[in-house]
């Protein structure tokens, strides 16, 4: 504020008149200060909306029933287990009173609300934690309600969605609260073994014993933007290591990068995303399908040959092996995400290996392919220099293989076929990759893929480099695009090892038998997909319609061929397919 | 009466409001953005509060900060000026909830009139003429043909989901209708995936005529005659005058009566404006009601002798109108030209910058409302209007002559302005003879510049 005397001030002669009944003042509760940007916001508007600061987009905590109103179809909420008796195992003084007070103040019976709702028509069990109730810490009743919700969901064969928000275990209940971590995890396990879907939604803050139990056990883990998610709280960590934590540490984005969260979903989109995910997982295993019906489909050459389709002989002039290599590496060539976009509209991406990192060289997720849910996992080179660098040129890290295998196991749980796209110069050769066990990660993939009881199809779309490619190509059928290549090593590497001269790559390529046609002849692949071959026609995302059409028909045929196979015959077939080499 | 007024605006209108307060003896509080430090309005007010950085979302549109400034300074009323928060029902509502006088209509009136369809319905129900049109979407050409007949040609067919001129066709007669309807529908289908159409009477080359209204809380409503704002570029008014050369006393009476009726139907309080489209044959249609003081209010002030800002403040303080309709007479002729920092030769590109030299006209019958001064830096964040030059003379011809003389005196050094362009409009024969409609700048080449659609 400033007062100045550049101009003479107003000569005030307004009569004071009678005093106004109500002097200007901001009524209580009209405005509240946003804890992030410090600006005043209208409480009404925030509550009517999604509890988001209109200025800085900061997320406020949402009371449980408000959350339910925004997620559930109107009138669909049926609340469960509101009458669990309170006990005070440590006889902690004042605890009972505190609980009584909170019940009155919040209208909640405990820190979690559970029950059944419909989301866009899809029935699901739901649990929502409410931070107003002792920071939604988990004591006996919270653990009990969550365990019961999972048990009932298991009985009624329903998915579970849990909105986590918690400070952790409830100290007032001591060891009893610690036991809730195991109790809830056990209930999740049974639900999981019944093949049912559990989506965990992490909201601010999710910490301590809740993070270290059911919150991190979702088949799919979503997080709200900017939420604090961790085991130890940031203050505890700072005190322990005597260092200041970097900005963004333990926030949703940090967890996504570190592979613990499938996706960050803005609050406004949560409802739609949840409905979509339930829909994608609604398809139950059909009766009888997974029963081991030995002998139903004789395994052997006949079946393998069924998928074998001789390559069409193109009219174009024959190409040298090296020209194939150049084409397979061409910058214009469609990459993993181009195939996903053109073949799998509505693809929902899942991130992370749940161990260390989300590898951007691998894209994985779920989509409906002509009505059938499939898991799609693609090696991704990225487009343009920036994209290439972001995706590490398609060189997959251990985290990428672990992410792929996580999604494969998920596909098996939900009985979805898996379609791999292979396009890598080879697994990433870097220090970090070795530190995290590149060899182990590839080996584990090769081994475990032989135990996955759902159909696997692998399509080499560009470079199929070495073990890095093979870890995505242990499948029931492997197809190649006409000018893609698949080899034990790059021609440069081959020349350098055998002849100590990497520049003789062209010569090496001719020897290596790495073209689709050669590999078809050697029964390494079942099918060769023709590429546009017109004079001067560049194969790019603009000209990929023909290839996409061929693949679409091919994938439909593959799914049809393998639909009825039981898992035992699938595994035997896969075993024999590789056993013969 | 209001004791201390906060002006939630900047530039010339803030200065205008502060001056009215100084005359009335009401203390003033200016708010200003960091980009407006040292601006005239912040200097002229008794107190000034900085409310944030330059971009208006951070300052002049930030209601919480403005309300805080009002609370801190002990203001008991807020005048929103025009633009910014002036027609924001949420802000008016905030003032109501904080027992802060909002100089303008109640929030429910603002929101009611802000909804175009609801406002149209209110007016139609009150018997105020609105552009005839279908009240439901039409998909069949035969039904459309019958409705077009009822509405009266020319008609315009519009896509319900339309925008950007797509799915819009005019038919001047029955023979053209089928083709127009089907073409528009086809376009709409292609562009929006929807073939629902509206049919409306096509108002061709209308004048933009607006009536100034004053209404008090006791329900007294008067009108202060019209303003003709037909000279506009892409809905931006450039020259306004009162009275209109296209409105006869009889028509004025009729349109004025309807304007009063419209304001009553909306339960209006404060100064407001009824916008009409006026066809050449004298038919007129309600377009919308503006719930704020307008840029061009000085022309009305000059022909009626009424200070509109003072009236607004009195009404906001709960006083009754002391002027009766029969006291209102339009004397002489007033014209206002908006002087903007923009380059008409470069598609009216805004030209913010430093004003190195400044000479503004004065003298008998000449008024300049502005916030600029020599050495003023025009910030890039706000609209480009620098000043309003208003003249008053006995009749239109003399007013134009006065405006030409005054305009010819204007020197604003350092930035590009539209002064020469305005001078050319005033010199145009069709303008001088009063043959003006909203397409004037599209139909005339002014100083080598023709406005495209």
Domains of chain B, earliest start first:
4-103 (3.40.50.20), 141-201 (3.30.1490.20), 207-443 (3.30.470.20)
- C-alpha A388/C-alpha A369 separation (Å) is 28
- Is cis: bond before B439, omega within 30 of 0? no
Domain shared by A265 and A370, yes or no: no
Name the residue in chain A with its Cα closest to that of B317: A20
Is residue A302 domain-resident?
no
Closest Cα to residue A391, out of A432, A343, A358? A358
Dihedral pair phi/psi, residue A165, rounded to 5°: -165, 110
Q: Is the CB of residue B268 less than 8 Å from the CB of residue B213? A: yes
CB < 8 Å to B67, chain A: 26, 40
Which H or E run includes B226?
strand B221-233
* C-beta atoms of A24 and B43 within 8 A: no
Q: Is there a contact between A412 and A455 (Cβ–Cβ < 8 Å)?
A: no
Q: How much is the mean pLDDT over chain A?
A: 90
Q: pLDDT at position A101, please?
A: 95
Residue whose C-alpha is closest to residue A229's, from A126, A119, A352: A352
A39 assigned to some structural domain: no
Residue pair B289/B262 in contact (Cβ under 8 Å)? The answer is: yes
Lowest mean pLDDT among A39-48, A227-236, A407-416: A39-48
Three-state DSSP class for A328? helix
Q: Residue A128 — left, alpha, or beta (φ > 0 → left; ψ -120 to 50 → alpha)?
A: beta
Residue A123 has pLDDT above 90, yes or no: yes
Helix locations, B323-372, DSSP H: none
- Chain B: closest CA distance from residue A33 (Å): 10
- Predicted-assembly ipTM surpassing the 0.90 threshold: no
Under DSSP, the state recorded for A329 is T
Statement to judge: residues A217 and A112 lie in one domain: yes
Res A286 pLDDT > 60: no
* Contact check, Cβ <8 Å, B73/A22: no
On the question of pLDDT at A302 being above 80, the answer is no
| B 7-26 near A (Cβ less than 8 A) | 21-22, 24-26
Answer whether A16 touches B (CB < 8 Å): yes
- Write the pLDDT tens digit of every residue in A506-562: 888 888 889 998 899 898 999 999 888 765 678 888 888 889 999 999 999 999 999
- Beta strand pairing status for B366-370 and B358-359? unpaired
Please tell me the distance from the alpha carbon of residue A49 to that of residue A68, in angstroms, as a whole number.
13
pLDDT at position A317 is 58
Please judge whether A10 and B70 are an interchain contact, meaning their C-beta atoms are less than 8 angstroms apart.
Answer: no
Burial profile A5-39: b = 16 or more Cβ within 10 angstroms, e = fewer: eeeeebeeebeeeeeeeeebebeeeebeebeeeeb
What is the predicted pLDDT for the residue at A274? 97
**Are A179 and A270 in the same domain?**
yes
Residue A18 in contact with partner chain B when CB distance is under 8 A: no
Does residue B367 carry a catalytic annotation? Answer: no
pLDDT at A572 over 70: yes
* Same domain, residue pair A463 and A540: yes
Could you read off the pLDDT of A306-363 as tens digits, one per residue? 567 777 655 455 788 898 898 899 898 999 999 999 999 999 999 999 999 999 999 9
A456-465 and A477-481 as β-strands: parallel, antiparallel, unpaired? parallel
Q: pLDDT tens across A175-191, in order?
A: 999 999 999 999 999 99
| The predicted structure's pLDDT at residue A311 | 72
Q: Give the CA dihedral A425, A430, A435, A437, nearest 10 degrees.
A: 10
- Domain residues for A446? 307-579
User: According to the model, what pLDDT value does residue A284 have?
Assistant: 54
In sequence order, the β-bridge partners of residue B392 are: B334
- Which residues in chain A are contacts of B98 at CB distance < 8 A? 24-27, 30
User: What is the Cα–Cα distance from A130 to A147, expressed in whole angstroms?
Assistant: 17
Same domain flag for A431 and A354: yes
Chain B residues within an 8 Å CB radius of A16: 3
- The predicted pLDDT at position B353 comes to 94
Rounded Cα distance between B276 and B288, Å, is 7
> CB count, 10 Å around CB of A575?
13
C-alpha distances out from residue A96 to A86, A108, A173, A392, Å:
8, 15, 11, 56
- Per-residue pLDDT tens over the stretch B27-60: 999 999 999 999 999 999 999 999 999 999 999 9
**A317 within some domain:** yes
A150: left (phi over 0), alpha (psi -120 to 50) or beta: alpha
Determine the Cα–Cα distance for residues B385 and B342; give it in Å rounded to an integer: 9
Residue A535: what pLDDT? 59
SS3 A474: coil
Q: Where are the alpha helices (DSSP H) in A117-205?
A: 140-156, 174-193
Of A12, A23, A31, the CB nearest to B25: A12
Q: Which segments of chain B have a pLDDT < 70? A: 163-165, 453
Residue A347 and residue A428 in one domain:
yes
pLDDT bucket at A294, cuts 50 / 70 / 90: very low
| Same domain, residue pair A429 and A466 | yes
Q: What is the count of structural domains for chain A? A: 2
Least confident of A14-23, A466-475, B203-212: A14-23
Q: Cβ contact (<8 Å) for B97 and A27?
A: yes
Q: A552 and A416: one domain?
A: yes
Give yes or no: residues A499 and A567 share one domain: yes
Distance from CA of B43 to the nearest CA of A (A): 7
Residue A527 lies in a domain: yes
A–B CB contacts, 8 A cutoff, strictly below: 71
Q: Are residues A311 and A275 in the same domain?
A: no
C-beta atoms of A41 and B64 within 8 A? yes
Candidates B44, B55, B85: best to mutate against A (most CBs of A within 10 A) is B44
- Beta carbons of B76 and A24 less than 8 Å apart: yes
Cβ distance A1 to B27 less than 8 Å, yes or no, reads no
Q: What SS3 state is found at B351?
A: coil
Are both A159 and A225 inside the same structural domain?
yes
Average pLDDT over residues A53-64: 90
Task: Among A261, A280, A299, identify where a domain stops.
Answer: A280
pLDDT recorded at residue A531: 86
Nearest residue to A514 (alpha-carbon basis) of A322, A349, A359: A322
Q: Is residue A315 part of a domain?
A: yes
**A16 within some domain:** no
Is A275 in the same domain as A354? no
More confident residue, A37 or A431: A431
Is residue A492 in some structural domain? yes
Angle at A288 between CA A284 and CA A294, to 5 degrees: 135
Q: What is the CATH number of the domain that holds A491?
A: 3.90.226.10
Q: In A, which residues are within 8 Å of B25 by CB distance?
A: 10-14
Question: Does A175 fall in a domain?
Answer: yes
Catalytic residue among B10, B65, B292, B367: B292
pTM beyond cutoff 0.90: no
Burial class (CB in 10 A: 0-12, 13-18, 19+), B453: exposed
Identify the pLDDT of residue B323. 96
Q: How many CA atoms within 13 Å lie on the side-chain side of B61?
A: 12
Mutate which: B25, B32, B39, B89, vs A, most A CBs within 10 A: B25
């Amino acid at each position: 504020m400033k007062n100045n005397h550049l101009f003479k001030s107003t000569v005030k002669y307004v009569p004071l008149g009678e005093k106004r009944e109500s002097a200007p003042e901001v009524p209580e509760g009209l405005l509240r200060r946003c804890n992030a940007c410090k600006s005043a916001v209208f409480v009404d508007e925030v509550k009517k909306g999604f509890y988001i600061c209109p200025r800085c987009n900061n997320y406020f905590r949402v009371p449980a029933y408000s959350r339910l109103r925004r997620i559930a179809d109107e009138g669909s909420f049926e609340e469960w287990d509101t009458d669990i008796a309170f006990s005070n195992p440590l006889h902690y003084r004042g605890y009972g009173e505190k609980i009584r007070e909170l019940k009155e103040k919040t209208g909640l019976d405990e820190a979690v609300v559970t029950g059944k709702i419909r989301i866009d028509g899809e029935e699901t069990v739901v649990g929502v934690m409410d931070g107003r109730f002792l920071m939604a810490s988990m004591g006996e009743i919270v653990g009990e309600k969550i365990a019961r919700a999972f048990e009932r969901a298991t009985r009624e064969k329903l998915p579970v969605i849990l909105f986590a928000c918690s400070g952790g275990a409830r100290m007032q209940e001591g060891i009893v609260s610690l036991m809730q971590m195991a109790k809830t995890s056990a209930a999740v396990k049974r639900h999981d073994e019944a093949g049912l879907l559990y989506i965990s939604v992490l909201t601010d803050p999710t910490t301590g014993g809740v993070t270290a139990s059911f919150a991190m056990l979702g088949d799919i883990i979503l997080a709200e933007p900017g939420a604090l998610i961790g085991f130890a709280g940031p203050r505890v960590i700072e005190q322990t290591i005597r260092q200041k934590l970097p900005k963004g540490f333990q926030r949703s984005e940090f967890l996504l990068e570190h592979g613990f969260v499938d996706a960050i979903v803005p609050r406004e989109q949560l409802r739609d995303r949840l409905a979509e995910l339930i829909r994608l997982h609604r398809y139950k295993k059909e009766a009888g399908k997974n029963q081991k019906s030995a002998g139903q489909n004789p395994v052997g050459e006949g079946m393998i040959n069924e998928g074998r389709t001789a390559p069409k002989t193109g009219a174009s002039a024959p190409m040298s092996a090296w020209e194939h290599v150049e084409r397979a590496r061409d910058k214009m060539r469609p990459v993993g995400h181009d195939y996903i976009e053109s073949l799998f509209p509505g693809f929902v991406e899942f991130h992370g290996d749940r161990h260390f990192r989300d590898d951007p060289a691998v894209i994985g997720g779920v989509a409906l392919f002509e009505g059938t849910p499939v898991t799609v996992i693609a090696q991704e080179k990225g487009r343009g220099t920036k994209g290439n660098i972001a995706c590490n040129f398609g060189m997959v890290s251990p985290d990428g293989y672990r992410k792929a295998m996580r999604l494969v196991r998920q596909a098996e749980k939900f009985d979805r076929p898996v379609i791999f796209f292979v396009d890598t110069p080879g697994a990433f050769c870097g220090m970090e990759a070795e530190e995290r066990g590149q060899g182990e990660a590839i080996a584990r993939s090769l081994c475990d893929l032989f135990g996955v009881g759902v159909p696997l199809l692998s399509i080499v779309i560009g470079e199929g480099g070495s073990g890095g490619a093979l870890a995505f190509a242990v499948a029931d059928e492997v197809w190649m695009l006409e000018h893609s290549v698949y080899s034990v090593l790059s021609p440069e590497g081959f020349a350098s090892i055998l002849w100590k001269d990497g520049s003789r790559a062209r010569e090496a390529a001719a020897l290596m038998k790495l073209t689709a046609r050669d590999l078809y002849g050697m029964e390494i692949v079942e099918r060769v997909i023709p590429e546009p071959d017109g004079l001067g026609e560049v194969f790019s995302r603009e000209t990929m319609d023909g290839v996409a059409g061929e693949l679409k028909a091919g994938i439909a045929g593959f799914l049809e061929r393998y639909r009825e196979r039981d898992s035992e015959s699938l595994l035997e077939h896969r075993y024999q397919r590789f056993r013969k080499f | 009466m209001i004791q201390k007024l906060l002006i939630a605006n900047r530039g010339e209108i803030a200065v205008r409001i502060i001056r009215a307060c100084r005359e009335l003896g009401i203390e003033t509080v200016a708010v200003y953005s960091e980009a407006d430090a040292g601006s005239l309005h912040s200097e002229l007010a008794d107190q000034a509060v900085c409310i944030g950085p330059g971009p208006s979302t951070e300052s002049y549109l930030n209601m919480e900060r403005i309300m805080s400034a009002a609370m801190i300074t002990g203001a008991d009323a807020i005048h929103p000026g025009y633009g910014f928060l002036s027609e924001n029902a949420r802000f008016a509502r905030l003032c109501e909830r904080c027992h802060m006088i909002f100089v303008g209509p109640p929030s429910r009136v603002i929101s009611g009139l802000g909804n175009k369809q609801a406002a149209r319905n209110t007016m139609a129900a009150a018997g105020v003429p609105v552009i005839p049109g279908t009240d439901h979407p039409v998909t069949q050409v035969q039904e459309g043909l019958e409705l077009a007949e009822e509405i009266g040609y020319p008609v315009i067919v519009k896509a319900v989901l339309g925008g950007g001129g797509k799915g819009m066709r005019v038919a001047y007669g029955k023979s053209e209708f089928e083709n127009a309807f089907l073409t528009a529908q086809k376009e709409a289908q292609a562009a929006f995936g929807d073939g629902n159409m509206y049919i409306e009477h096509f108002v061709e080359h209308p004048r933009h005529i607006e009536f100034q209204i004053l209404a008090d809380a006791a329900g007294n409503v008067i009108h202060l005659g019209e303003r003709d704002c037909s000279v506009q570029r892409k809905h931006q008014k450039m020259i306004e005058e009162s009275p209109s050369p296209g409105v006869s006393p009889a028509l004025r009476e009729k349109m004025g009566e309807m304007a009063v009726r419209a304001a009553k139907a909306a339960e209006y309080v404060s100064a407001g404006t009824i916008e009409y489209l006026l066809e050449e044959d004298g038919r007129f249609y309600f377009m919308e009601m503006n719930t704020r003081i307008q840029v061009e209010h000085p022309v009305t002030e000059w022909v009626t002798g009424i200070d509109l800002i003072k009236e607004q403040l009195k009404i906001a303080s709960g006083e009754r109108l002391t002027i009766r309709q029969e006291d209102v007479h339009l004397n002489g002729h007033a014209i206002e030209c908006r002087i903007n920092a923009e380059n008409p030769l470069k598609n009216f590109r805004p030209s913010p910058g430093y004003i190195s030299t400044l000479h503004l006209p004065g003298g008998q019958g000449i008024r300049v409302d502005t916030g600029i001064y020599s050495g003023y830096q025009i910030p890039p964040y706000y609209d480009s209007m620098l000043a309003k030059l208003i003249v008053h003379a006995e009749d239109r011809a003399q007013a134009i002559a006065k405006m030409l003389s005054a305009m010819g005196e204007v020197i604003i050094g350092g930035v590009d302005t539209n002064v020469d362009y305005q001078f050319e409009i005033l010199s145009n024969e069709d303008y001088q003879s009063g043959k003006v409609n909203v397409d004037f700048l599209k139909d005339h080449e002014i100083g080598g510049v023709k406005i495209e659609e």
